[in-house]
Amino acid sequence: MTEPSTFDFCPWLFWDHATDEDRRAQERHLEELRARVDIDAAGKVFVSPLAAVYAGSLRMGDHCYIAAHAYVTDDIVMGDDCTINPYAVVRGNVVLGDAVRVGAHTSLLGFNHSTAPDRPVFRQPITSKGIRIGDDVWIGSNVVVLDGVTIGDHAVVGAGAVVTKDVPAWAMVAGNPARPIRDRRTPSTPAPSRPAPDLEERLAAFAARAREQAADVLGRCWTGERYVDRPDAPPTVRAWCDAVEIADLLLDGPPPTPAREEIVAFLRDRQDPDTGLVPELGAEGTPELEGVTAYHVLCVGYALDLLGTRFEHPVRAVHDLTSKDLTAALDALDWDRQAWTSGSVVDAIGTGLYRNLAGFGLRGDLETLYGWLLTRCRQTHGMWGEPDADAGWLMVVNGFYRLTRGTYAQFGLPLPYPERAVDTVLAQAADPRYFGPGTGNACNVLDVIHPLWLLGRQTRHRRAEGEAWAREHLVRALGGWQDGAGLSFALSRGSGAQRTPGLQGTEMWLAIIWLLADHLGVSGALGYRPRGIHRPEPAIHLPAR
């Protein structure tokens, strides 16, 4: 039996991450298919050896894939950039245009039985009108499309729909039977108000200045052997990761020093093979899922992504947790007094589960994690934990950012109580202790804007207030750049480590500035888009079992 690989279940990773041996194995599999199937595969394609492909003819355009446990028979035509995801069924006479996405567990059934009463159904003749799907069509998971249906260009079919009639171009449909929801060209909510043009000009000027000085910012923190956060600071694992993120944003590649291979070797060699965790430099003993070691699951994993590789070992400290152990560990966290710390642990657990799934095909106990989160989220304020008499909503909102970053945002899932969560975030955003004159740091601003940005994808509740806050803090952040040094963690005036420009402050504020700008609809002026820890797209969509 063929052993499953990451690419069987995450085939979109194949073209960027496959080794030479992976590519040779895929070519051998395609040759085996050609021996028994009339297959015409143009350009780059991937067909999982775990897929059941018994088509009479199969035509695959460039950058198409068929994932594990898909069932494909009869006569199938796929244009360019088409994807058939795990457990999908495509049978009969089915023609896909370009850029068609077929979700997991979906069935495209381009044939039918007659139903005359004179004999059992299984003895009835088979008929086939075929299914025709246009260009740029997204068909969600668990959809059924019946024989004779045509789906027009640019349409979207919602998860779980049963499509019995033709779908017009640009239509968004859902339900059983599928019914139109709206035209895809019509926004579901009003577009955000556009800030004045001068803000876009300032964004473009800021980004150009940062790009020109990026090499100097990185060189300032390279000792000749190690990256440090700022001159005279001790070397840390995170400093290497921040350097990689900054270089990717501003230089569109790895840091100029040292060579990419040296950076990859340094980061991969830090991982403990038994636990899969990455301890701090010089740390002794078995690493545990807490503090800076927990954060390294995020920053090292995403830095390796940006460098075109991945962890050498699974994050077993997460994968080996039983359902009972995971529930006990989450219950034991101090959500009432340390919601930020608790949220950071959930972030590391969620990210460890993602790393194991994307890199090693190990699912882990995602159901227990999301079940716990859904049942423990406070309906009254949309978050986990309770406000503190001294700190107010600070810990709760900061913990909300960390928790949702590694779970809901990373896996592309909707949040449970978005309007109540917006209310809570805006209450924190109005607290003068953290956002008054002379105050404010990267963590506190990030922990407000990322939730506002993420929740804004689900609701426009109190949108104008959030945009006003974003504009105020964006203008302030754009004035924080220091030539040749970057940005400090705290933008308030004064001395000390937090007010000295360094890699951490620069990496965080570059992402924050993008989020603030994107919430206002003007991030395009920056000319960069985060691809690491702060990437706006889900890293992976949670697959069904």
Is residue 266 within 8 A of residue 240, CB to CB? The reply is: yes
Q: What are phi and psi of 134, to 5 degrees?
A: -80, -165
Q: What is the pLDDT of residues 154-209, one digit of tens each?
A: 999 999 899 999 999 999 998 888 988 888 877 655 555 566 669 999 999 999 99
Other Cβ atoms closer than 10 A to 544: 13
What is the fold of 6-183? Answer: UDP N-Acetylglucosamine Acyltransferase; domain 1 (2.160.10)
The alpha carbon dihedral of 447, 451, 452, 454 has a sign of positive
Q: What is the pLDDT of residues 301-341, one digit of tens each?
A: 999 999 999 999 999 999 999 999 999 999 999 998 899 99
Report helix, strand or coil for 430.
coil
Annotated catalytic, 113?
yes
Single-letter residue type at 254? P
The whole-number average pLDDT for the span 81-99 is 96
pLDDT bucket at 5, cuts 50 / 70 / 90: confident
Element (DSSP H or E) covering residue 39:
strand 38-41
Q: What is the pLDDT of residues 403-444, one digit of tens each?
A: 999 999 999 999 999 999 999 999 999 999 999 877 779 999
Q: What is the DSSP letter of 102?
A: E
The β-bridge relationship of strands 179-183 and 171-174 is antiparallel
Q: Token digits for 254?
A: 């790895």
Q: Is the peptide bond before 125 cis (omega within 30 degrees of 0)?
A: no
Residue 232 has pLDDT above 80, yes or no: yes
Measured between alpha carbons, how far is 489 from 500 in angstroms, rounded to an integer? 7
**Pick from 8-22, 97-111, 376-390, 441-455: least confident:** 8-22
Q: What is the DSSP letter of 86?
A: T
The whole-number average pLDDT for the span 29-49 is 91
Q: What is the pLDDT of residues 253-274, one digit of tens each?
A: 999 999 999 999 999 999 999 9
Q: What is the pLDDT of residues 159-171, one digit of tens each?
A: 989 999 999 999 9
Q: What is the pLDDT of residues 365-397, one digit of tens each?
A: 999 999 999 999 999 999 999 998 889 999 999
Is residue 64 within 8 A of residue 100, CB to CB? The reply is: no
Q: Token digits for 255?
A: 């840091």
**In terms of pLDDT, which residue wins out, 191 or 16?**
16
The whole-number average pLDDT for the span 89-115 is 93
- pLDDT above 90 as % of the chain: 83
The whole-number average pLDDT for the span 231-242 is 97
Measured between alpha carbons, how far is 255 from 49 in angstroms, rounded to an integer? 38
The pLDDT of residue 1 is 46
The whole-number average pLDDT for the span 217-243 is 97
Check 113, 154, 313, 319 and give the catalytic one.
113
Q: Is the peptide bond before 177 cis (omega within 30 degrees of 0)?
A: yes
Residue 358 has pLDDT above 60, yes or no: yes
The pLDDT of residue 16 is 83
**What is the chain's Cα-based Rg?**
25
Measured between alpha carbons, how far is 264 from 275 in angstroms, rounded to an integer? 19
Measured between alpha carbons, how far is 101 from 117 in angstroms, rounded to an integer? 38
Q: Which are the contacts of 541, defined by CB distance < 8 A and separation ≥ 6?
A: 411, 412
The pLDDT of residue 526 is 96
Measured between alpha carbons, how far is 358 from 253 in angstroms, rounded to an integer? 22
The pLDDT of residue 102 is 96
Q: Token digits for 326?
A: 């995971």
The pLDDT of residue 93 is 95
- In 146-275, alpha helices (H): 197-220, 237-251, 260-269
Residue 247 has pLDDT above 70, yes or no: yes
The pLDDT of residue 194 is 61
**Pick from 106-120, 217-231, 377-391, 452-466: least confident:** 106-120
The pLDDT of residue 221 is 98
| CA angle 391–392–395, rounded 5-degree value | 70
